[in-house]
């Protein structure tokens, strides 16, 4: 793509002018075509200075999602190496499922700048305005169906670690898969097993992080926050996506080596509410006890007066005893 070739050329000479003539010769495109592409790049958020005499120079990379910039930021071997980035999709999970059915490879990653029908678990909605990180990865790991829930645990850990590395913020995991900052939801994960989990096992791992938008972009009743609210500046979404994929790949390698206990401990270290008195809601039933931790399958362990009880995600909701949320 000419646009990416121009970027590549400018990025190879940071802070320096590259003449229009040179770009035109090297890429075999007209000066008018270059100007058009530079305009498009600026609209994507790249800061490019153009001078009639000297040519163009790249001053700042874009913080919005861009295929080329994301590829530059990737350090993974498999995850994100096949990439689809769209301006708008109903849901990246739905698109990833379609691509998986068409033979999409392990690690194939779908991103959208905006989702018109973002999905949460159990048919719930996920609000996905512009500026967020809405990403789904197709995984065909060397694991069994029983291990599927471990992958969503791994995704939670990967997001927490990426945010800590990049922004030194400490995010908590609220069982099973809410990522929260001071009790407010910052990110969520939707893991979906595809079709039959036989010889080829496929799971779609959807990750949504509220990033470069204000709290007002989400509907009022949500107990939510965004990276912009926490940090006070816009983050580089390409770097964020690449760093999450880096940690996810690392967790996946451990999981495939059956190093499950390590993941359980990583998850537990990042969990909120451990050791606290909590209530578990299962339909009309309410259980009360101490949140002891999780089993390796991601089931919640609750110590009640009647002994230890185990709850798997999906069927129940966790509530702090005092307030609605942690």
**Interaction site with ligand BT5 (CB under 6 A):** 91-93, 115, 118-122, 124-128, 134-136, 178, 185, 188-190, 206-208, 210, 218, 222, 224
Q: Give Cβ neighbours of residue 93 (< 8 Å, ≥ 6 apart).
A: 119, 136, 190, 192, 204, 206
Q: How far is the CB of 164 from ligand BT5 (least distance, A)?
A: 20
CB nearer to ligand BT5: give 103 or 221: 221
Q: How far is the CB of 136 from ligand BT5 (least distance, A)?
A: 5
CB nearer to ligand BT5: give 56 or 326: 326
Q: How far is the CB of 110 from ligand BT5 (least distance, A)?
A: 8
What's the rounded Cα separation, in Å, for the pair 320 and 3?
Answer: 51
CB nearer to ligand BT5: give 41 or 190: 190
DSSP letters of 233-282? S---HHHHHHHHHHHHHHHHHHHHTT-HHHHHHHHHHHBSSTTSEEEEEE
CB nearer to ligand BT5: give 55 or 172: 172
What's the rounded Cα separation, in Å, for the pair 253 and 275?
Answer: 30
Closest residue by Cα to residue 147 from 266, 252, 246: 252
Q: How far is the CB of 123 from ligand BT5 (least distance, A)?
A: 9
Closest residue by Cα to residue 183 from 294, 273, 255: 273
CB nearer to ligand BT5: give 143 or 186: 186
- Number of Cβ atoms within 10 Å of the Cβ of 125: 11
Q: Which residue is nearest to ligand BT5 (CB)?
A: 188
Q: How far is the CB of 310 from ligand BT5 (least distance, A)?
A: 20
CB nearer to ligand BT5: give 195 or 314: 314
What's the rounded Cα separation, in Å, for the pair 112 and 122?
Answer: 22
Coil/strand/helix, residue 278: strand
Element (H, E) at 112: strand 109-115
What's the rounded Cα separation, in Å, for the pair 304 and 277?
Answer: 10
- Number of Cβ atoms within 10 Å of the Cβ of 124: 10
Q: How far is the CB of 187 from ligand BT5 (least distance, A)?
A: 8
């Amino acid at each position: 793509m000419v646009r990416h070739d121009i970027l590549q050329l400018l990025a190879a000479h940071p802070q320096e002018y590259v003449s229009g003539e040179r770009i035109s010769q090297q890429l075999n495109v007209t000066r008018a075509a270059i100007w058009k592409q530079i305009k498009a790049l600026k609209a994507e958020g790249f800061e490019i200075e153009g001078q009639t005499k000297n040519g163009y120079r790249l001053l700042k990379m874009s913080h919005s999602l861009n295929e080329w910039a994301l590829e530059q930021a990737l350090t993974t071997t498999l995850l994100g190496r096949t990439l689809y980035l769209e301006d708008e999709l109903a849901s990246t999970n739905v698109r990833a499922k379609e691509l998986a059915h068409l033979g999409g490879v392990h690690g194939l990653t779908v991103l959208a700048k905006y989702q018109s029908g973002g999905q949460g678990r159990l048919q719930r909605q996920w609000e996905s305005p512009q500026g967020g990180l809405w990403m789904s990865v197709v995984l065909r790991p060397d694991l069994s169906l029983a291990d599927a829930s471990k992958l969503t645990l791994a995704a939670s850990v990967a997001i927490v670690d990426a945010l800590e590395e990049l922004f030194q913020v400490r995010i908590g995991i609220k069982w099973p898969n809410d990522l929260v900052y001071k009790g407010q939801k910052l990110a969520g994960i939707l893991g979906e097993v595809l079709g039959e989990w036989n010889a080829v096992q496929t799971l779609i791992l959807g990750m949504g992080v509220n990033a470069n938008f204000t709290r007002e972009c989400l509907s009022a009743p949500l107990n939510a926050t965004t990276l912009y609210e926490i940090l006070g500046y816009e983050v580089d979404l390409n770097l964020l996506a690449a760093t999450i994929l880096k940690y996810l790949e690392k967790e996946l390698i451990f999981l495939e080596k059956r190093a499950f206990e390590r993941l359980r401990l990583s998850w537990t270290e990042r969990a909120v509410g451990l050791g606290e008195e909590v209530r578990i809601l299962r339909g009309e039933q309410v259980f009360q006890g101490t949140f002891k931790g999780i089993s390796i399958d991601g089931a919640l362990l609750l110590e009640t007066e009647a002994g230890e009880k185990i709850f798997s995600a999906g069927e129940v909701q966790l509530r702090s005893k005092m307030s609605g949320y942690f």
